[in-house]
Amino acid sequence: MEKNIATLAQLLDAAGTQWRVYDIGRRIAKIDKATFAKIESTQIPYPTPLQQHAMIAIQFWDARASKEPYIWFLKFPLDEQNKLNQASRNHFADMVLEALGTQLTGQDEQAQQLNNNPYVFTPNVNKRAAFNALMKVELNQGASIYYEHAQLYFSGKIAIDSWQTLALQGIADFAMRLHQDNNSEKLLSVLNHLPEEVFNPLSSILEHVCITTTVAESLLKLGQQSLTLESPNTLIYSLRALSNAAATGLVDQLVDEALQSKHAHNTDLQLILAGRCWRSFSQPERLHLYMDHVAQSPVGPELFAGIFADLVAISELRPHVLNLLRIENRSETLARAIGSLFK
């Protein structure tokens, strides 16, 4: 890396670009520049690692040009303290400098070369739709051509069973614009009647949205109504959709009821709780109960080891997860599962 360019932030600044950075691993969330600087300098661990990696999106553009912003989806390994592996970051920056110099925009052909490096990755289709919808909101751009049809559907002006006509991008645009065009009210009018084929992708977008308390309350009720159903799907979708609500007490309430339900040992539910509702496990008793259920999973010790590693990597949860190794009032099943971590 060039002597006067030691970080990605410095590279983007040297190129004269405007830029923003987002965590897109567990949830799409903006990372402010001060925090990103601390991550790059390894002053702090990456806040929400996933599979021992930092997964980020960097959006940048030339303020003097009118072209669409460029986006890098990047995946960097983390060390045992969940701090950025700077050698990997430096390697990527060197590849950028070699291909583009500090002229990061306006060189589309050369930029294509960067798609073949080990740090660029492609998020899943739901996350790409959510990110695209969020970017259009943040840049005050119009939604996709599919938005209007999604609005009509969620307004009840299209038959609820005509979901085949919906595009994922339209659902994403609608979810990211709940604060516009009375969309929250439209959603509430049909929420209890949505088919799984719509609620599933909708929940995968809403997990990135800080929904209002009114919407959160309705999702809580829907989740509660599903606790006794044979299929755990509606409960899982409700938890996903609710997980990023500002009203964290409502999230905790549904997590608690899910852990007391007949679905508590369902593997898909357990994975969603760790992957989307991790904030609820900063409460030690709730974490203890959850990990006890995971230890009883018919999947075996691999699931417990994976979830333990996943949660212990999150800074705010780490002391609580490690405390599970020391508590005395744990079940034999949980004790065996913990013991298997050291074999």
Q: What is the pLDDT along the chain (343 residues), one digit of tens a residue?
A: 455 678 999 989 888 888 999 999 999 999 999 999 999 999 999 999 999 999 999 999 887 765 678 899 999 999 999 999 999 999 998 888 877 665 555 555 545 666 678 999 999 999 999 999 999 999 999 999 999 999 999 999 999 999 999 999 999 999 999 999 999 999 999 999 999 999 999 999 999 999 999 999 999 999 999 999 999 999 999 999 999 999 999 999 999 999 999 999 999 999 999 999 999 999 999 999 999 999 999 888 899 999 999 999 999 999 999 999 998 888 999 999 999 998 7
Report phi then psi at 331, rounded to 5: -70, 160
Distance CA(119)–CA(141), nearest Å, equals 29
Q: Which of these, 285, 296, 281, 279, lies nearest to 331 by C-alpha position?
A: 296
Calculate the dihedral angle through the C-alpha atoms of 246, 248, 254, 260, rounding to the nearest 10 degrees.
160
